[in-house]
Amino acid sequence: MSALLQRNFSQLRLLLSSAGQVTRLASSGVEPPSAAQQEQEIRKQRRQPPPVVPDSDIKKSVFISQSSDVFTNLALEDWLYKNFDFSRHHVLLLWANDPCVVIGRHQNPFTEANVSQLVERGITLARRNSGGGAVYHDLGNLNCTFFSPRERYDRKYNLNIVTRALFREWAIKAEINERDDIVVLNKKISGTAAKLGHPNSYHHCTILASANKLHLGESLVREPANYISKATASVPSPIRNLVDVNRTVNVAQLRSAVGYEYLRTAATTLEDGGSTQTMQQRGFQLVNPTEKWFPGIEELRASYSSWDWVIGKTPKFTVQKELEVKGDEQDMKLQLCVEVEAGLMKEIGIQLPQSDQVVPVVTALQGKPYNEENLNGILGALKLVSASNVKQAINGSA
């Protein structure tokens, strides 16, 4: 692994050396290009298709992360995406996490799960840098990230690696549906998402081997309230563990099966090269996602684990919840409205049903982070207010 990293850094040093050569030529009397000319040249180069690399010149590696911390693994994935040269070296990263819920980059965690309950149960909430829906991870769930240059991104190729591995190892017949989920007997065992950039890309998917389905179901239940949000919503699907199909399936064997299927298959076509193809690759490599191995990864991990990323990145939304206040003659039904921006409660108010009028609520929680606990705290305080006081507030604001 260290040799691979050294090779990538040596390429970086070579580029810096070339830049120095341009500077020396410029100082010998040649007029250096202006900033605008340099930018125009860079754009021109980006429009040109990269040279075609034949399959025979592309090597493959299977990296196995030695961490089960979701933030560390997300940082490792991002580090490789940003720093590695995949032009002649494709990589499959295999990793597993301790119990956590991982949402897509553009999702609202509060519409996907009950965040406060996750914290109470010791289940970590994380936000990845790709799109897609929310998923539950534990050590019975294998994650696969296929890295390649953007021009060789092929989601179907990657998913077929997984389905072929399942059939070769356990004779499990899996299919790829129209949503690019992998299903077995019409139930989902794998979801999928991707990050497409320049020059690199990655496609990642999950494989449910023996995940705790009870925790999975409980973790993806949100607080009962009306959420008005433009965030990407998950599409619920019935799921299945592979052990429900074949009791001998386990994560260690699954990791080996998918890895070998990847190494024995040609780089850009689903051509099985068998042991001959496998022997030409760089094989399996255990990677330790630490600062020593991947300089800068600690900063990436800090970013992924920060409140600003996990919660503060949530698109603006409004949450509404009904409550009743006691009256002398009749109880009054109201609706609490909370507008949340960048994870903070910006506007808090109450309104009568079938009315557009909103009366501001004065509370010390305004401007504080939104979560289910704070929402229920506001509701609890409002229930102590009498119906007559609410009417006076409404009349006073009219």
- What DSSP string runs through 209-259? SS--HHHHHHHT---SSEEEE-SPPP----B--GGGT-TT--HHHHHHHHH
Q: Are 371 and 115 in contact (CB under 8 A)?
A: yes
User: What pLDDT score does 223 carry?
Assistant: 85
Phi–psi pair at 314, nearest 5 degrees:
-60, 130
User: What pLDDT score does 17 carry?
Assistant: 33
Q: Are 315 and 231 in contact (CB under 8 A)?
A: yes
User: What pLDDT score does 81 carry?
Assistant: 98
**CATH code 3.30.930.10 for 55-310:** yes
Phi–psi pair at 262, nearest 5 degrees:
-65, -45
Q: Are 300 and 315 in contact (CB under 8 A)?
A: no
User: What pLDDT score does 183 carry?
Assistant: 97
DSSP secondary structure letter of residue 385: S
Tokens of 108: 């609202």
Q: Is the dihedral of CA 105, 111, 112, 117 positive or negative?
A: positive
Amino acid identity, residue 367? G
User: What pLDDT score does 389 carry?
Assistant: 63
Give CA–CA dist 36/121, Å, rounded. Answer: 55
- Locus of tokens 């409980």: 218
Give CA–CA dist 398/395, Å, rounded. Answer: 5
In terms of DSSP H, where are the helices of the chain? Answer: 2-27, 35-47, 70-83, 109-112, 115-121, 155-170, 213-219, 251-264, 274-279, 297-304, 307-310, 372-382, 387-397
Over the chain (398 residues), the average pLDDT of each successive run of 10 is 44 34 35 65 58 86 98 98 96 98 96 92 96 95 97 96 98 96 96 95 97 93 90 92 97 98 96 94 96 97 98 96 76 88 95 77 92 90 72 57
Give CA–CA dist 270/272, Å, rounded. Answer: 6
Tell me whether the omega of the peptide bond preceding residue 199 falls within 30 degrees of 0, making it cis: yes
Q: Are 369 and 311 in contact (CB under 8 A)?
A: yes
Helix (H, G, I), strand (E, B) or coil at 345: strand
Give CA–CA dist 73/96, Å, rounded. Answer: 8
Q: Are 141 and 209 in contact (CB under 8 A)?
A: yes
Cα angle, residue 174 at apex, residues 172 and 177 outer, rounded to 5°: 175
Give CA–CA dist 266/55, Å, rounded. Answer: 7
Beta-carbon count within 10 A of 337 CB: 19
Give the pLDDT confidence of 18-45 residue by residue, as tens digits: 333 332 323 334 456 666 666 666 555 5
Q: Are 105 and 78 in contact (CB under 8 A)?
A: no
Amino acid identity, residue 266? A
Strand partners, 126: 102
User: What pLDDT score does 10 carry?
Assistant: 40
User: What pLDDT score does 15 carry?
Assistant: 32
User: What pLDDT score does 395 carry?
Assistant: 58
